[in-house]
Amino acid sequence: MTDPLLTVEHLATGYGDLRAVWDVSFRVWSGRITALLGRNGSGKTTSLRAVAGLNPVHGGTMTYDGRPLESVAAHRRVALGVSYVQEGKRVFRAQSVRENLLLGGYSLKLRRKALESELARIYDLFPILHAKRDDPAGSLSGGQQQMVAIGQALMAKPRLLMLDEPSGGLAPSVVAEVMARVSELKESGLAILLVEQAVEAAMDVADHVTVIDIGKVVVNSPVHEIDDLEKIKDACIGR
Amino acid sequence: MTLIYAGLSLGAVYALVAIGYNIVFVASRSFNFAQAQLMTIGAFVAYTGHVTFGLPAIAVVLLAMIAVMLIASIEERIAVRPVADHQTQLITTLGFGTMLTGIAQLVWGSQPLDVPFVGAKGAITLLGGRLYTFELGLIVLAIVLVVVIHLYNRRMMSGLALVAMSQDDEAALLRGINVRKLAFAAFAVTGLLAGLMGFFIGPKTFAVATLGSALALKGFVALAIGGFGSFYGGLAGGFAVGLVEAHAARYLGSEFSNLSVFLILILVLMIRPTGLFGQLQERTV
């Protein structure tokens, strides 16, 4: 197996001095999807925020592309290829879809003209966004806003894409479409870290699964070695 | 017509204050209550440049802009950056403004100083009314600034980034925008513009240490009428306040001018609580 693009080992993090994650390790490979699962409050989002640079690291290491990530400022991590799509479709609601996508490419440090030509990549992936390009992002449906959020992240030409609950609040048919797009992105060589409540949908597309509970890893395995999905579901729902 | 010109030029002064508030508000969701005092310092520096040093107008403008930008940068470092939340910044920037008023009084005294304008302070006739050249300059400056800022926010990447920051600074950070740097830049630019504005308002209002607090209040009213964060709103609000003030002073007596301004404010806020051009911004979490 090739070296992982991102290796997180014994991560301890939280909000300010408040500790939410004690000892979490996971790895993400280029061209593969790692699903990070766990029940509400288990520390999934907190871990992603630490990788993105939003939360302070209290202990452990994060190695990205062979170098430590902890000392890199959050806005510079984007330029290194780390893109984080937050939970809850955090698009810039008052700005148009096109402006949202352009902002996604901010870290490329290109002139606006040059960025405009990058938009085609995203419109190919999500044709509906081309039709809605001049509408305020806040006026779009939930699924379309999720596409804007993912499109923004892709504009930055990431190598590592972290998706936090991309299926949250979406209709089942839309979830299927979003997951299909996520699989396509994997085929293009992206390393994807997927956080999901929808365990089955995530397991369908994932290559590797890490389950955490109360800030610690309880399952860490390639998906094809998992014979009992119920065990994973139990750990995620907390029966 | 002359009365309308008087109202518009007075309104332009308030609109300029509102523009200053808005730039900082858009960039950091906070108010810089020292904005009007920064402009006042700009007017004083313009006076010193014109009268004391006898510099040409272009040098005076540059001097005022650079001096006030430096002061604004200092303000950002000591009164804004170390203070975490926006509510507290209201107090610290207000305090910085009060300090500026005090310093202005120490340096330039408490007598109003007549700031010269480009060339002589001549009056011209335009569309059946008379106004001074510096009054026309004020109106044009306010309109041009608003149009330029609007285009900047729509066309330039850094402008788009500023507007994005104002909606969700964490999401902006995740798109690779250096939020802190941009917020500082916005502060420095407001200082630069406050210097420019000071050069233009000085001939109209005179340079006097107490000018800041008078402008701060009316500028805030202009902003509230127009809607926080809206540059066209601030312009419209400024002109509205100026026109109401001028007309009330002429027809009702000068003691009614402030009263009428606040009456209009209350009326607008009763009908549209977000101001004429304001938008309610919801945020899903």
* B280 within 8 A of B227, measured Cβ to Cβ: no
Q: What is the pLDDT of residues B20-39, one digit of tens each?
A: 999 888 887 888 889 999 99
Q: What is the pLDDT of residues B195-209, one digit of tens each?
A: 999 888 888 888 888
Q: Is B77 on the interface with A (CB under 8 A)?
A: no
Tell me the pLDDT band of B279, cut-offs 50, 70 and 90: low
Q: Is B272 on the interface with A (CB under 8 A)?
A: no
Q: Copy the structure tokens of residue A77.
A: 């991590």
Q: Copy the structure tokens of residue A160.
A: 């590592």
Taking 60 as the threshold, does the pLDDT of residue A239 lie above it? no
Mean pLDDT of A214-232: 83
Nearest C-alpha in A relative to B157: A112
The C-alpha of B284 sits at a distance from chain A's nearest C-alpha, in angstroms, of: 7
**Which range of residues forms the domain containing residue B136?**
2-209
Residue of A101, A156, A106 whose CA lies nearest to B157: A106
Check residue A38 and report its DSSP letter: -
Helices (H), A68-167: 74-80, 97-104, 112-125, 127-131, 142-155
Mean pLDDT of B56-75: 91
- The answer to whether position B275 is within a domain reads no
Q: Are A92 and B164 inside 8 Å of each other by CB? A: yes
Per-residue pLDDT at B120 = 62
Q: Are B171 and A90 inside 8 Å of each other by CB? A: yes
Neighbours of B181 (CB within 10 A): 10
Out of A88, A94, A112, the one facing B284 most closely (by C-beta) is A88
Quote the CA–CA distance of A192 and B65 in Å, as a whole number.
Answer: 49
Per-residue pLDDT at B115 = 82
Q: What is the pLDDT of residues B93-112, one digit of tens each?
A: 999 999 999 999 899 988 88
Quote the CA–CA distance of A11 and A14 in Å, as a whole number.
Answer: 10
* B16 within 8 A of B241, measured Cβ to Cβ: no
Helical pair B57-75 and B35-47, crossing angle rounded to 10 deg: 150
Q: Copy the structure tokens of residue B44.
A: 């004083």
HEC profile of chain B: CHHHHHHHHHHHHHHHHHHHHHHHHHHHCCCCCCHHHHHHHHHHHHHHHHHHCCCCHHHHHHHHHHHHHHHHHHHHHHHHCCCCCHHHHHHHHHHHHHHHHHHHHHHHCCCCECCCCCCCCCEEEECCEEEEHHHHHHHHHHHHHHHHHHHHHHHCHHHHHHHHHHHCHHHHHHCCCCHHHHHHHHHHHHHHHHHHHHHHHHHHHCECCCHHHHHHHHHHHHHHHHCCCCHHHHHHHHHHHHHHHHHHHHHCCHHHHHHHHHHHHHHHHHHCCCCCCCCCCCCCC
Residue to substitute from A84, A87, A90, interface B, most B β-carbons within 10 A: A90
Residue of A6, A27, A22, A25 whose CA lies nearest to A59: A22
The C-alpha of B34 sits at a distance from chain A's nearest C-alpha, in angstroms, of: 28
Residue to substitute from B163, B175, B181, B280, interface A, most A β-carbons within 10 A: B175
Check residue A146 and report its DSSP letter: H
- Amino acid, res. A44: K
Expressed in angstroms, the distance from the first to the final Cα of chain B is 52
Q: Are B174 and A107 inside 8 Å of each other by CB? A: no
Nearest C-alpha in A relative to B165: A92
Tell me the pLDDT band of A1, cut-offs 50, 70 and 90: low
Q: Please state, in angstroms and as integers, the Cα–Cα distance from residue B262 to each residue in A97, B77, B221, B239, B255, following that order.
A: 39, 34, 8, 14, 13
Per-residue pLDDT at B283 = 41
| Domain at A1-81+159-239, CATH homologous superfamily | P-loop containing nucleotide triphosphate hydrolases (3.40.50.300)
Per-residue pLDDT at B284 = 38
Nearest C-alpha in B relative to A161: B174
Q: Copy the structure tokens of residue A130.
A: 């081309």
Helix (H) or strand (E) holding A209: strand A208-213
Share of chain A above pLDDT 70, in %: 99
* A219 within 8 A of A211, measured Cβ to Cβ: yes
Number of residues in chain A: 239
Q: Are B163 and A54 inside 8 Å of each other by CB? A: no
Mean pLDDT of B199-224: 87
* B235 within 8 A of B226, measured Cβ to Cβ: yes
Range scoring the smallest mean pLDDT among A41-55, A113-127, A167-181, A182-196: A167-181
Per-residue pLDDT at B282 = 43
Task: State the pairing for strand pair A33-37/A208-213.
Answer: parallel
Residue of B4, B5, B12 whose CA lies nearest to B238: B12
Task: State the pairing for strand pair A216-222/B123-126.
Answer: unpaired
Residue to substitute from A99, A115, A161, interface B, most B β-carbons within 10 A: A99
Range scoring the smallest mean pLDDT among A76-80, A120-124, A235-239, B125-129: A235-239
Residue of B191, B170, B188 whose CA lies nearest to B179: B170
Nearest C-alpha in A relative to B229: A94
Q: Are A74 and B173 inside 8 Å of each other by CB? A: yes
Interchain CB contacts (distance < 8 Å): A and B: 76
Q: Copy the structure tokens of residue A211.
A: 């389950």
Q: Are A95 and B163 inside 8 Å of each other by CB? A: yes
Tell me the pLDDT band of B90, cut-offs 50, 70 and 90: confident
Cα A88 from chain centre: 12
Quote the CA–CA distance of B203 and A146 in Å, as a whole number.
Answer: 54
Beta bridge partners of A7: A27, A63
The C-alpha of A225 sits at a distance from chain B's nearest C-alpha, in angstroms, of: 35
Range scoring the smallest mean pLDDT among A64-68, A93-97, A216-220: A216-220
Out of A86, A92, A111, the one facing B167 most closely (by C-beta) is A92
The C-alpha of A117 sits at a distance from chain B's nearest C-alpha, in angstroms, of: 14
* B117 within 8 A of B133, measured Cβ to Cβ: yes
Q: What is chain B's mean pLDDT, rounded?
A: 86
Locate CATH 3.40.50.300 in chain A: 1-81+159-239
Taking 90 as the threshold, does the pLDDT of residue A119 lie above it? yes
* A161 within 8 A of A193, measured Cβ to Cβ: yes
* A140 within 8 A of A132, measured Cβ to Cβ: yes
- The answer to whether position B68 is within a domain reads yes
Expressed in angstroms, the distance from the first to the final Cα of chain A is 35
The three-state secondary structure class of A203 is: helix
Residues of A in contact with B172 (CB under 8 A): 92, 103
Beta bridge partners of A26: A8
The C-alpha of A104 sits at a distance from chain B's nearest C-alpha, in angstroms, of: 5
Residues of A in contact with B156 (CB under 8 A): 112
Q: Copy the structure tokens of residue B224.
A: 């509230």
Q: Copy the structure tokens of residue B237.
A: 């609000």
- Amino acid, res. B107: V
The number of folded domains in chain B is 1
Per-residue pLDDT at A39 = 86
Residue of A159, A152, A197 whose CA lies nearest to A175: A197
